[in-house]
Structure formats: structure tokens, C-alpha cells
Amino acid sequence: MEKRWIRKPAPDAEQVRHLADALRVNEAVIGLLCQRKVCSFEEARAYFRPALATLPNPMLMRDMDRAVDRLVRALHLGERVLVFGDYDVDGTTSVALVFSYLREFFGPSRIDYYIPDRYKEGYGVSEAGIDFAVDNSYQLIIALDCGVKAVEKVAYANQCGIDFIICDHHLPGADLPEAVAVLDPKRADCPYPYKELSGCGVGFKLMQAFTQHQGLPEEPLYELLDLVAVSIAADIVPITGENRTLAYHGLRLLNDRQRPQRPGLDALRELAGIQNAELNISSLVFGFAPRINAAGRMGDAKRSVAMILAETTAEAKDKAGVVDKTNQERRGFDTSITKEALEMIEQDALLRTASTTVLFKQDWHKGVVGIVASRCLDKYYRPTIILTESNGKATGSARSVVGFDVHQAIEECSDLLDQFGGHMYAAGLTLPVENVPAFREKFERIVAGRILPEQLIPPVEIDQVLALQDITPSFFNLLHQMEPFGPGNSNPVFMSDKVYATPDSARIVGNSHLKLTLTQDGRHTVDAIGFGLGEYHERILRGEPFQVCYTVEMNEFRGVKNLQLRVKDIRWE
């Protein structure tokens, strides 16, 4: 697929020189910092060494005082608390964090957790969950990663005599639930300075406020930041500001092999085959998240929470094995449904040329429609919605392209929907099956009228032009210190001009991947791999110079480490 190369604006040269003198660091790296608005010595120090002491005061969040007061009252009155969370990674890590922390105060008999069944109860706060609380004499529910739109369900809980504390990070609707407290930095009236916390991050802030209220040290709470890091990675929230600090310290915990690791995550690490690798955001996204998510996609997400909370290695391996088996089952559905979805597009002339993809098939597995939407977006790169039938309704997931707000487009079709929610780039929706054709037509019309032609071409944002001779181990070590990388603090992408493949180095590996050694001047060489770029092989063999854009990584094979370029795209002038 053609890609759109976008050069980021060059930083101010004087700023770069000034900061390079102050830090005595390579000017190319300083340029990257300045592009990220890190332009002073103090900002650079905070960027390279994010400090937990700089986290915003949790009491700045609207309703936090009410949430803490209600939690403390439950503690003192001997009430029972139910920790309720969504079935995805953010929800299950949120539940594991809050449940494990509060269990030390409430004791095992006064606190439990509940994850709704994706198929019987659907997303978010459920009536069945509230009934479970009533039947088991819980007086307080803490809802995590959901609840900000649960107006009717919270009203039902109020009728049942059960209070709610909501910890959410999704966009609120027009009306907030009448809960004791609604903690959500995206509330229009919330003065909390950082708006992009994960759901687990909001749960962490509640625990932080509770800890401060009780006059307790925060170090035991910080031991749970590994869970916050997993949630931040899996939920694709920006790695900026407070999220970057939380992720930085969470990853330090995960990579500190001198301290006892959480047995559940350690077992997951082994199953993912990354037990000896240093973890980063990417390895959490691709190694941890699919396995934790699979339990909720294919059945009971409580299995993921139980795995995370496992206290012994044997218990953790047993529960992780169940989760991994579920993930293998998920892969089978994912592969077959993706193949079917792509064939539906390819065989329909209108779908092939549309500005959107909206597909519906009643027997597709509900648990993988979000993944299938992402796969279709990778292939056709346009706002995509994949729907299946569940409980007599069409329900599914949406994914979007860079710069286009799919949530807003769906909202403009709300007259055809039963419910919807989500973010700019990912959303969920439910509608009557008979409304699917009308929804498909209206959604296409809205998107086609608003989306820019260039938004339908996948972008590659290039930070800087770099000479291959400048790619050295010391340069990579400086880049490595800029981690954790992710949205808002992306792994730097470089471009090099007039490069060649060294003789006999270019070859196809794994059917479609390109492996080669690059040189620019005939003297300096660096290994490179381009996944899915095998189509360029024949032209590279002609010996014409080309441009390449890439990230720099350290590849390890059989214990030997060497620098390698991860090629994103190639083009000829």
C-alpha cells in the first residue's frame, strides 16, 4: 500500500545548540527532544528521569473528595465492597490493582471483584452485576474503566440501596450518572490537569487519594505500577505527561529481575517467549495484551484477573496456561473471520471504492470483531466497523485512520443506534439488526463528506534525516533513554537518502519480508529488515539508489546483539 511520507518540522537550530551544550548530548537526539517540546535543561531532566513526586495531586480530580469519604465510611462501617471492571486489559488490570490494594484494608471476606460476561451482559455496568451485589450484601460498587454513561444502571443501583464510585476515562454523555462520585478527567467540569489517564490510571489515583487520606506511605501502592503500565500500553493512551511517568516506573518494576516479580505476569512473559528480553510498551502490547484480552473475548475475563492475582508460580502457570489456550482459540477465529471479511470487500465493487468499511455477518464471533476491524483497516486504510449479531442486536467495533474522529461520526448516526461509546480512533456500538443497511449508508455519507483524501493514505511521520554512519551503539543508547515509546512519544523515525543494498544481501524471508544490509557510502553498513516489504526486492536488486525510512533497534539472535533498522517504507526518487 502506498504510504504518505510526512517530514516533521525541523526544530529551532539555536534551541538545539543551546540544549546540546547544556546536556553534552548528540545534536540529533537533542533535535528529537526539541521536536517533542522538551527545550530546556529542566524539561530534559524531567523527561529522561520521570519522578513519581511530580504526579498531580489526586484531590484535584472532581468528586475525589466524595469518593474517598465514601470509601473510608465503608471501611469504618464494616461494609462490603464489590470491585467491578470491564473485560478488556484496562478493566482487568484496574480490578486487579484496586482489589489487591483494598483487600489489605477490608480483608478477604469484605471485598470481591466482578467482571461482566461479554455475551450475556455486554459492555459496562450491568443489571446482572448490580443484582449480584444485592444478593451478596454489597453496599458499595467501585466501577473501573466503565460507568460514565451508565445513567440508568446507576439509578437502578440507587433503588437497590447500593452506592457507586465510578472511575472512568471515556468521554461522558450529556448526563452523568447519579453516583456518589464520578471520577473521570474528561468530565467538562473536572480541573484535573492530565486528561489522558487509562481506566487503571484513574483507579490508581483513587487509591493514591485514599492512601494520602489515611496518612500512609505510598511506596506499597507504587509496587502496583506494573499493572498501570500494562493498561497504558494495551489501551493505546498517549505516553505523555503523567502516563509517561507511570509507564516509566511500571516498566522499571517489570524489568527489575532482582525483585520478586508478579507470578501471573511472569508466567505470561514466559508464554509470550520474552522472559529474557527487556520489556517495553511494544512487548506489552503484543506479548501481554492479546493473552489478557483473550479471556474476555472468548469467555470469562475473571480468568485474567485470577492469573494476575496468582500468588504462587504453580498457580500462575496453571492460570496463564488457560489464558494462553484461550488466546490460541481467539487466533483461529481472528484468522478465519478476517479472511472472510476481506473477501467480502474484494468481491463488492461498491465496498472496494467506498470511503468506509461497514461489514455485518450474524455468526461472526463477537470477541474478535475489534481485531478484525483493525486487520481490515490495515489492508484498506479507512474508517472501519465490523458487526455481528448478539442477543438479537447488531453489535461491533469501529477503528479509524489517523486524524479522523470515528466516535463523532458514529454519534451523528445515533438515531439508528441503541448505544455507543469510545474514543476518536476506537469505538463500540449496538443497533437493531434491521437498521444496519441504513446505518451503513448514513455512516458512509458522513465520512465521505468529511474525510480528506490524504487521510485515506497511511502516513509515515519522519522525525529527521540521518546518515547511516551516525547510527552507532552510543547513538542507540541515547535513543533507548527516550523510552517508553508510544502514542505522543513515538519511537523516532529516520530517513536516509541515496542508500543501496550491499551485493547479495537483499533476500526474501518468511514469504513477504525483506532482509538486507544497507550502505550509503560503500564504507558504513547496517543490517535492516522490512516486514511485508518483499515486493521491493526485485527493484532493489537493480542497484538503483533509494530512500528509506526506519526506526533503530537492537536485534538479539542466539545471544548476539547488533544494531538493526526496522524499515517502514522504501521509495525511489
Mean pLDDT along residues 157-165? 97
Q: pLDDT tens across 378-421, in order?
A: 999 999 999 999 889 999 999 999 999 999 999 999 999 998 98
Q: Which CATH class is domain 337-456?
A: alpha beta
What is d(CA 277, CA 93) in angstroms, rounded to the nearest whole number? 22
Domain boundaries, the chain: 4-49+460-571, 58-324, 337-456
Q: Are 431 and 393 within 8 A, CB to CB?
A: yes
- Give the torsion sign (CA, 97, 101, 107, 111): negative
CA dist., res. 268 & res. 292, Å (int): 9
The CATH architecture one would assign to domain 58-324 is: Alpha-Beta Complex (3.90)
Reported pTM: 0.90
Residue 513's H or E segment, with its range, is: strand 513-519
Q: Is the pLDDT of residue 156 over 90?
A: yes
The share of the chain scoring above pLDDT 90, in percent, equals 79
Whole-number average pLDDT of the chain: 93
Same fold, 4-49+460-571 and 337-456: no
- Give the pLDDT of residue 355: 96
Here the cell at position 110 is: 469484605
Cell 525483585, residue located = 259
Rounded to whole angstroms, what are the CA distances from 41 to 30, 47, 384, 492?
11, 10, 44, 21
Band (300; pLDDT cuts 50, 70, 90) = confident
Q: pLDDT tens digit string along 460-477?
A: 999 999 999 999 999 999
Work out the average pLDDT over 538-560: 90
| Per-residue model confidence (pLDDT) at position 298 | 65
Q: What is the pLDDT of residues 251-298, one digit of tens each?
A: 999 999 888 889 999 999 998 888 888 999 999 999 998 888 877 766
Chain centroid, CA 535 distance in Å: 30
Confidence of residue 523 (pLDDT cuts 50, 70, 90): confident
DSSP codes joined into one string, 552-564: EEEEEETTEEEEE
CA distance 152 to 554: 52
Mean pLDDT of 230-252: 95
Of 372, 364, 362, nearest to 335 by C-alpha is 372
| CATH level 3 topology of 4-49+460-571 | OB fold (Dihydrolipoamide Acetyltransferase, E2P) (2.40.50)
Long-range contacts of 300-306 (CB under 8 A, 24+ apart): 300/115, 300/117, 301/87, 301/88, 301/91, 301/92, 301/115, 301/118, 302/113, 302/115, 304/89, 304/92, 305/85, 305/92, 305/95, 305/96, 305/99, 305/113, 305/115
| Average pLDDT for 160-175 | 94
pLDDT band at 92 (very low <50, low <70, confident <90, very high): very high
The alpha carbons of the chain give a radius of gyration, in whole angstroms, of 25
Distances, alpha carbon 406 to alpha carbons 212, 351, 383, 415, in Å: 39, 18, 7, 16
Are 3 and 460 contacting, i.e. CB atoms less than 8 angstroms apart?
A: yes
Quick check: 302 pLDDT over 90? no
Task: State mean pLDDT over 349-371.
Answer: 92
164, 149 Cβ separation under 8 angstroms: no
* DSSP per-residue codes, 86-145: -SSHHHHHHHHHHHHHHHHHH-TTSEEEE---TTTT-SSS-HHHHHHHHHTT--EEEEES
pLDDT > 80? residue 558: no
